[in-house]
Amino acid sequence: MTRDAIVPLESYRLVQYAVPIPCYICETENTYDAEYCRNCLAPMALAHQANSQKIRPSMIAVMGGSAVGKTVYLGMLMDMLSRQPERMQLLARGAFSITLQQTTMSALARCTFPEKTPNDPDRWNWVHCQVRWPKRRHPWELIVPDMAGEALFEEIHHPHSYRVIGAYLKKCIGAMILVDTLRLKEGSRDQDYFTMKLVSYLAELHDSPKESWQRRPVAMVFTKADQCEPCVADPAGYAQAHAGGLWQQCLERFSIHKFFAAGVAGACVWRESRSEGRVRVPLRVEPFGIVEPFEWLLEQIKAQRLAGK
Amino acid sequence: MRVLKQNLLLWAAGTAAALSVALGWLGPHPWLALVGLVAAVCLLVPAGRPWRRLGSTRAEALDEPPPAPAQPPIEVVRRKPVDPTDPASLIENMLLEGRFALLLRPQIAGQLDEEQFQRALACLEDEMALVPDGEVVVGQIEEEPEDERPSEEEMAARQGRVVRVERFFLDRHPVTNRQFYEFVAAGGYQQVALWEASVLPAVLDFVDRTGMPAPRFWSGGCYPPELHDHPVVGVSWYEAAAFARWVGKRLPSDAEWVKAASWPVSVTATTRVQRRYPWGDTMDRTRANLWGSGPKGTVPVGEFAGGVSVGGVYQLLGNVWEWMWGNFAPTELPGQRFVLEAPMKGIRGGAFDTYFDNQATCQFQSGEAAIARKRNIGFRCAVGVCDLVLARAPARTARPAETDHPMPMEVGA
């Protein structure tokens, strides 16, 4: 049975709905109630947050091949800086920004690694956070997504297959490129080649030399370095010796770059089970070298901003 | 480069001064000789320093000298040389080296006079804590199962296994750099009998930063002086085991370590209460040196006294992981199997960089390759009560303690 009802016409709502909202990443106009951008699939919450709080967050990219440790690195970085704020403090803006930290930490505490990041951009974890320093008055607003390595791979080989990646990287003010030390140590050149492709992709992203990645700071981070002592002792020397192509590309393409070594697990073993198959699990969590690349990157960006003024 | 430039300038100035002296002497202007002499004297004074600096720079460039070795502990340097024919001097030296447990072995204790025996006992009481015998649960998984209705088999695996432990002594503190130096100075790395035969080829590789046989982060066979009382780190399981053998002790087993830390109390015949942390059941980062506790590195072994166990053992949790005697054997749930790329030894206790509370508990076990020499792994030693002579008959005869272990109350913790 149906009944008639009188619904008041809230015209101000209609007006609100009629105003298009540009996506914060690709600037495509979306309707007010869109959850994800219809063009690049970035969450529209970023745009709503920027509009409502009247802020313009900067963007930093964390990139690397599949299973290089991007999720663990980013989750660990967020957790460390939110727990120990002596050097700098990281405050998540919005509940969705804490999801990455939560999933990573709960997995590591159970001595497992977090699940692989899905390829679909609408399922990535986007982090919008505020960085504060004890002696600086103005905090920085940052957006850092946890991009899937395979999506990145696809975009590099077939540009525009993941529009969000291209649009995002064009706007980034700096990047952290992660390289798997274990695979380099095993003698595999895949990491070297993949990172060379990534560097090359970044270098070709802009037409104008003023906007190019040549002038943007890039931190090259060797992940899983706890299993490789020479890398911890001298990351740049290790890059030169074991990833010669990457080393040369960095010299040629990035005027501001530095190599770092980082690790999260003290030791790892393989665990076999019927449900999961064969997975690598950490035996304990003892992070090192996590904050340093991020800190260096922000210092370089700050120096550039001061020089620009 | 800067030094080289300075020296080139000095060369040029010196040559000019010499030329002016010669011209003044031979030529029509004798005042030139005077000016040249004054200039030469002025140049000679500062010239010495840059030359010396240039010399050192060249030496560094040609052949990188090892970092200056740290000074060995003064008490070790001043110690009188031991006369191998004099048992009294030998025993005295062993007491100074901290090898009292070896002196209290039934085979040796008979050689000690009453004063030496009492001193060895006093050292034992000071440096080691008595852990009583009893049962302890090992291998328990403390986290809640992910599955809401785990099988009985899984629940049984999660509860761990009960192990019976005989009474034993455990070092009150982790072995310090100072203590390990005694082993290095006494030629411990060269004494083949102390090492497992299988690892002998690797012993040559157990060197410090300067290539001397010593823990990995030392220089010139000695530790940095400011780390005197810090736990020794950068030692493999084999080095730890060799040291323990040298002092007449051994590494603790998993069950012994868990018993000392969690101090189980039997409530009924089948149930017992065990502590999650040595001080209780709630994590308190002011009681253990873990990530977020402050120091961000090792601290002296006497610090974090608030985390002392019931039996009086310090830093069982935090500061450095401790090598266990046994192999790493993680608890496997039904249908699960761990595959190790290389055999691993167990480590327990967490370290200054341990991030999670649940990885620094009395039950948590991790593993590391026996040959690894990491900056956050150290060790402490144990010795069974049954392996020592703790009292003896007035006739000064050593009594093998395997059959009877008299345990005077004052010896215990």
Same domain (yes/no): A33, A137: no
Chain A hits for B340, Cβ within 8 Å: 269-270
pLDDT digits (tens, 9 = 90+) for A46-101: 898 888 888 899 999 999 998 999 999 999 999 999 988 778 899 988 888 899 99
Chain B hits for A284, Cβ within 8 Å: 350, 354, 359, 366
Same domain (yes/no): A45, A130: no
- DSSP strand pairing (A58-64 vs A140-146): parallel
Same domain (yes/no): A38, A102: no
SS3 letters across A266-303: CCEEEEEECCCEEEEEECCEEEECCHHHHHHHHHHHHH
CB B20 within 8 Å of CB B37: no
Q: Is residue B412 part of a domain?
A: no
Q: Is residue A88 part of a domain?
A: yes
Same domain (yes/no): B127, B161: yes
Work out the pLDDT band at B11, boundaries 50, 70, 90: low
Q: How far apart are CA B279 and CA B287, in angstroms?
A: 8
pLDDT digits (tens, 9 = 90+) for B73-114: 766 666 667 777 788 888 999 999 999 999 999 999 988 999
For residue B410, the 8-state DSSP code is: G
Which of B63-67, B184-188, B261-265, B338-342 is the least confident region? B63-67
Which of A268-277, B27-36, B120-129 is the least confident region? B27-36
Q: How far apart are CA A125 and CA A146, in angstroms?
A: 6
B83 three-state secondary structure: coil
Same domain (yes/no): B28, B155: no
Same domain (yes/no): B33, B85: no
Q: Is residue B101 part of a domain?
A: yes
B326 three-state secondary structure: strand
Q: Return the residue in A283, A285, A288, A292 with the most chain B beta carbons within 10 A, the one to mutate for interface testing.
A: A283
Same domain (yes/no): A37, A141: no
Burial tier of A277 (Cβ tally within 10 Å: 0-12, 13-18, 19+)? exposed
pLDDT at position B153 is: 79
CB A112 within 8 Å of CB A77: no
Same domain (yes/no): A26, A109: no
> Given B29, B62, B95, which residue is the final one in a domain?
B62
Reported ipTM = 0.86
Structural domain total, chain A: 2
Same domain (yes/no): A143, A249: yes
pLDDT digits (tens, 9 = 90+) for A113-154: 999 999 998 899 999 999 998 888 889 999 999 999 999 999
Q: Is residue A1 part of a domain?
A: no
pLDDT at position B78 is: 60
Q: Is residue A133 part of a domain?
A: yes
Same domain (yes/no): A114, A27: no
Q: Which B residues, 319 through 348, put their C-beta within 8 Å of a C-beta on chain A?
A: 328, 330, 335-341, 344
- Given B335, B356, B358, which is nearest A274 (Cβ)? B335
Q: Is residue A12 part of a domain?
A: no
Same domain (yes/no): B263, B318: yes
Query: Do the Cβ atoms of B337 and A271 come within 8 Å?
Result: yes
- Given A83, A110, A271, which is nearest B336 (Cβ)? A271
Please indicate whether residue B4 or residue B167 has the higher confidence score (pLDDT).
B167
Work out the pLDDT band at B411, boundaries 50, 70, 90: very low
CB B53 within 8 Å of CB B3: yes
Short-list A60, A217, A77, CA closest to A142: A60
Q: Is residue A6 part of a domain?
A: no
Provide the residue type at B63 as one letter: D
Q: Is residue B54 part of a domain?
A: yes
Q: Is B51 on the interface with A (CB under 8 A)?
A: no
- Given A269, A285, A286, which is nearest B338 (Cβ)? A269
Same domain (yes/no): B122, B231: yes
Structural domain total, chain B: 2
Q: How far apart are CA B248 and CA B383, in angstroms?
A: 8
- Given B351, B356, B376, which is nearest A109 (Cβ)? B356
Q: How far apart are CA B59 and CA A142, in angstroms?
A: 49
pLDDT at position A49 is: 87
Half-sphere exposure of A94 (CA within 13 A, CB side): 21
Q: Is residue B250 part of a domain?
A: yes
pLDDT digits (tens, 9 = 90+) for B306-317: 999 999 999 999
pLDDT digits (tens, 9 = 90+) for A242-277: 988 889 989 998 999 999 999 999 899 999 988 888
Mean pLDDT of A33-38: 90
Same domain (yes/no): A154, A212: yes
Is the model's pLDDT at B62 over the cut of 50? no
Q: Give the dihedral sign, CA B392/B393/B399/B404.
A: negative
The residue of chain A with its CA nearest to that of B350 is: A284
Give the structural domain span for A259.
57-308
Work out the pLDDT band at B34, boundaries 50, 70, 90: low
Q: How many CB atoms lie within 10 A of CB A19?
A: 9
Same domain (yes/no): B137, B177: yes
Chain A hits for B291, Cβ within 8 Å: 286-287
Same domain (yes/no): A70, A150: yes
The residue of chain B with its CA nearest to that of A282 is: B366
Which helix (DSSP H) or strand (DSSP E) does residue B121 occupy? helix B114-127
> Given A38, A56, A74, which residue is the final one in a domain?
A56
Work out the pLDDT band at B63, boundaries 50, 70, 90: very low
Identify the CATH number of the domain in which residue A189 sits: 3.40.50.300
Q: Pull the structure tokens for residue B142.
A: 């403390």
Q: How far apart are CA A288 and CA A177, in angstroms?
A: 17
Is the model's pLDDT at B351 over the cut of 90? yes
Q: Is B191 on the interface with A (CB under 8 A)?
A: no
Q: Is residue A252 part of a domain?
A: yes
> Given A56, A74, A106, which residue is the final one in a domain?
A56
Same domain (yes/no): A86, A229: yes
Angle between helices A190-203 and A244-253 (to 10 degrees): 10
Integer angstrom CA distances of residue B294 from A86, A238, A287, B299, B353: 10, 31, 15, 10, 10
Q: Is residue B287 part of a domain?
A: yes
Same domain (yes/no): B18, B81: no
Q: Give the dihedral sign, CA B387/B388/B391/B396.
A: positive
Query: Do the Cβ atoms of B341 and A269 come within 8 Å?
Result: yes
Provide the residue type at A127 as one letter: V
Angle between helices A244-253 and A235-242 (to 10 degrees): 110
Identify the CATH number of the domain in which residue B130 sits: 3.90.1580.10
Same domain (yes/no): B215, B309: yes
Q: Pull the structure tokens for residue A40.
A: 């690049």
Is the model's pLDDT at B397 over the cut of 60? no
Q: Which B residues, 277 through 296, put their C-beta within 8 Å of a C-beta on chain A?
A: 291-292
Same domain (yes/no): B39, B183: no
Q: Is residue B413 part of a domain?
A: no
**pTM more than 0.90:** no
Same domain (yes/no): B185, B322: yes
pLDDT digits (tens, 9 = 90+) for B257-291: 999 999 999 888 778 889 999 999 999 999 999 99
Provide the residue type at B28 as one letter: P
Same domain (yes/no): B194, B259: yes
Distance from CA of B308 to the nearest CA of A (A): 23
Distance from CA of B353 to the nearest CA of A (A): 5
C-alpha B213 chain-centroid distance: 14
Maximum pairwise Cα distance, chain B: 115
Half-sphere exposure of B27 (CA within 13 A, CB side): 11
Q: Pull the structure tokens for residue A172.
A: 């980034």
Same domain (yes/no): A37, A164: no
Please indicate whether residue A19 or residue B206 has the higher confidence score (pLDDT).
B206
CB B289 within 8 Å of CB B304: yes
Mean pLDDT of B246-253: 96
Give the structural domain span for B11.
2-62
Distance from CA of B335 to the nearest CA of A (A): 6
Query: Do the Cβ atoms of B359 and A275 come within 8 Å?
Result: no
Q: Is B351 on the interface with A (CB under 8 A)?
A: yes
pLDDT at position B161 is: 87
Chain B hits for A285, Cβ within 8 Å: 354-356, 359
CA angle A127, A131, A135 (to 5 degrees): 175
Q: Return the residue in B236, B290, B355, B357 with the most chain A beta carbons within 10 A, the one to mutate for interface testing.
A: B355
Burial tier of B214 (Cβ tally within 10 Å: 0-12, 13-18, 19+)? buried
Q: Is residue A9 part of a domain?
A: no
Q: Is residue A211 part of a domain?
A: yes
The residue of chain A with its CA nearest to that of B292 is: A84
For residue B344, the 8-state DSSP code is: E
> B272 has which bridge partners?
B266
pLDDT digits (tens, 9 = 90+) for A166-210: 999 999 999 999 999 988 888 888 888 888 889 888 888 877 767
Chain A hits for B320, Cβ within 8 Å: none
Same domain (yes/no): B58, B81: no
Please indicate whether residue B400 or residue B118 has the higher confidence score (pLDDT).
B118
Query: Do the Cβ atoms of A286 and B354 come within 8 Å?
Result: yes
Q: Return the residue in A83, A103, A227, A284 with the most chain B beta carbons within 10 A, the one to mutate for interface testing.
A: A284
Mean pLDDT of A4-22: 75
CB A219 within 8 Å of CB A230: no
Work out the pLDDT band at B369, boundaries 50, 70, 90: very high
Chain A hits for B338, Cβ within 8 Å: 269-272
Q: Is residue B393 part of a domain?
A: no
Q: Is residue B406 part of a domain?
A: no
pLDDT at position B45 is: 42
A91 three-state secondary structure: strand
Work out the pLDDT band at B335, boundaries 50, 70, 90: confident
> Given B16, B31, B62, which residue is the final one in a domain?
B62
Short-list B298, B296, B140, B354, CA closest to A108: B354
Short-list A198, A196, A127, CA closest to A166: A198
Please indicate whether residue B380 or residue B158 has the higher confidence score (pLDDT).
B380
Please indicate whether residue B116 or residue B24 has the higher confidence score (pLDDT).
B116
